[in-house]
Each structure stands twice: as C-alpha cells, then as structure tokens.
Copies of this chain bind each other. A is one copy, B any other.
C-alpha cells in the first residue's frame, strides 16, 4: 500500500511517497517500508497558516502526481501538539500564527483522501515500532534529540497521547531543581542540558580545558554555525573530548531515563536525532547512568538503542502513522 508521509518542520516540509507492505491486510503487522520518491519544499512559516498550507498542498500534489490513484492516505507529522482525533494542529511553537488550525479538514476539502495528523515525535515512535528499533516491543520510549527533545511513548502496543494530547514531554522532566533555566520557565529540565542551544553552551564551556580537541577552535571564538552534529562528527573521527562530552550528555539523559523506567515499567529506549548518529559514546553514557540509577528489577532489562529509521524517519513515521490508523494497536 502506498501512503504520502509529510514531515512539517519550521524551515522545510519534507514529503515522500512511501510504500508499506504488510503480511496481511487484516493486521497491522507491517513488514517493510520503502521511500519511492521524496521532495523538500520550504515551509514559509513566516507567512502564517495560509502560506504554509499552500506549500503543503504543493508537496501533496507533487507526490500524488507521481502515483495517481494509488495513494491510500496521507500522514502528517506536526512539530507540536495536535488533536489527533479531530485532525487539528493546536499550537506549534515553531509555526507562527498557528493556533487550533483544522488542517485535516482544510486538506480534505481539496483532496479526497483520509488525512491523519500527529505530533512528529509520535510519528517517529510509530515508525520505530513498525520498522525500526522498536519492532516487536510493546512498551518503549523514543527520544529524538534536536532543538528540543521529541519523545513518543508506546504503551501496551499503542501510542500514548494522554488525555489532552500533550503526553511525551520527556525533555521537561526535572533532573536538578536548581539546574539551568529551561526555555519552558522551569529550572533543570533535561532539555536545559541536552537541547541543541544548551548543549552548544555546555560544550563551549567544557572545551576550554581541551585545546587539543578539534572543537577547540570552532567553539572558542564565535560559535555561529556550530551545531551539536559537529560534536558527533568529531566523536566519530575519534576526538577524545567530543567522545567524553557525548558520554557525559548520555549520563545526563540517563537520569531521566531511569526515572521514566521506574515510573512506567518501561525498559526500552530508542534514541534518534542529530547527535544520536555518533552512537556509542552517547548510548553508552545513557545506559551506564540509567543502569546505575534504575531499580534493581529493571537493571538487566534496560536497553538503549539507536533509532532505526535514520534521516527519513519523519516521513516514514508519518506514513506509518496513517497506515496503522485503521487498527486499534500497532500489533
């Protein structure tokens, strides 16, 4: 079956024609996903809902043109909270002027197709559940590291959205009540250590004592253009400081991982996003600190793995989200 998956970001809209094959049409036990074609168009966020919606229409039109009359449904990942049932974008922090926009209804008026919206972190979790690192696992949490921490919670084989659709704010678990100020207004949220800008600030501070690191020059002066992916790249190239820094960042995440494991009896964590690509030092740090802190009953079960869907996770997750919609659970 063919779906269109859209990943709406603050800067770009990515759209793909996604083929999802299932063992049978009667179960959500999907077997493979492949991206047949994809495009990127600018979001034009500053123009408000009208200009962004026009860009969404363009992207959909192009995808439908490539597979006339073959698309089953369209899945859309939105950066922020959505009313999934009613297809309404509630209040996306990076899309100025959007508040309670009935996007599914707007799109349905033009295209005779089912449209399904979900928070992009939930789409990523569904994608990982069906095709990625969460396959075969009925309870897990995905963390997508970037500007903030996107997080999707799979409970009892289904996405857990919470009563009002706001569930999954793993990034706003407090790990130190006197820690640095977070942009949410609280102090010491995980995000205030691991969100992109906070991580850059921490790296800038930490690198001062490591003139031998390839990051020293990059960070010591003006760090415009610097992103945490630079740390990941340096780590992959063997830079000791970068590896150590990612390990420490993992240890910070591990504090909240242990708390979530204890609260929810969840022991599987799937880590994606920019710096997760560097893999091992970050994942090792999470696992070490998570194991040290979690209740004994979870210690051996704790599993921290890299996301399996890579760069196209947003689009294939959105398509997966549309594909599972007819089923009550993911498996």
- The stretch of A45-53, A107-115, A226-234, A263-271 that contacts the partner chain: A263-271
Query: Of A36-44, A71-79, A195-203, A254-262, which binds chain B?
Result: A254-262
Q: Provide the bound-state CA to CA distance between A167 and B139, in Å.
A: 12
Residue of B whose beta carbon sits closest to that of A81 = B297
Closest-CB distance, A105 to chain B (whole angstroms): 23
Cα A292 to Cα B186 in complex, Å, equals 7
Contact A258 B169 (CB under 8 A): no
CB proximity of A169 to chain B, nearest CB, Å: 4
Q: Contacting chain B: which of A22-30, A127-135, A158-166, A323-331?
A: A158-166
Q: Is A185 an interface residue (CB 8 A)?
A: yes
Question: Which of B176, B186, B260, B295 touches A166 (beta carbons < 8 Å)?
Answer: B295
Is A295 a contact of B263 with CB atoms below 8 Å? no
Q: Is A122 an interface residue (CB 8 A)?
A: no
Question: Which one, B167, B177, B184, B186, contacts A175 given CB within 8 A?
Answer: B177
B169 with A266: CB separation less than 8 A = no
Cβ A177 vs Cβ B176 within 8 A = yes
* Contact in complex: B298, A166 (CB < 8 Å): yes
Contact of A162 among B167, B177, B264, B296 (CB under 8 A): B264
Within the complex, which residue of B260, B292, B297 is in contact with A263, where a contact is CB–CB below 8 Å?
B260
Residue of A160, A260, A292, A295 most packed against chain B (CB within 10 A): A295
Interface string of A294-319 (1 = CB under 8 A from B): 11111000000000000000000000
Contact of B297 with A172 in the complex, beta carbons under 8 Å: no
Q: Is A173 engaged at the interface, CB distance under 8 Å to the other chain?
A: yes
Give Cα A139 to B295, complex, Å.
25
Please tell me if A84 contacts chain B, counting CB pairs below 8 Å: no
Q: What residues of chain B lie closer than 8 Å to A255, measured between beta carbons?
A: 174, 177
B172 near A175 with CB under 8 A, answer no
A241 proximal to B (CB < 8 A): no
- What is the CA–CA distance of A139 and B166 in the complex, to the nearest angstrom? 13
A168 to B263, CA, bound (A): 5
CB<8 Å pairs between A and B, sample of 13: A81-B297, A138-B163, A139-B162, A155-B155, A162-B266, A163-B266, A166-B297, A170-B263, A172-B259, A174-B258, A175-B177, A186-B292, A187-B293
Q: 3 tightest A-B contacts by CB? A: A162-B265, A167-B265, A169-B262
Given A175-B177, A177-B293, 7 new contacts (CB under 8 A):
A155-B155, A166-B298, A174-B293, A176-B176, A177-B255, A184-B295, A186-B293
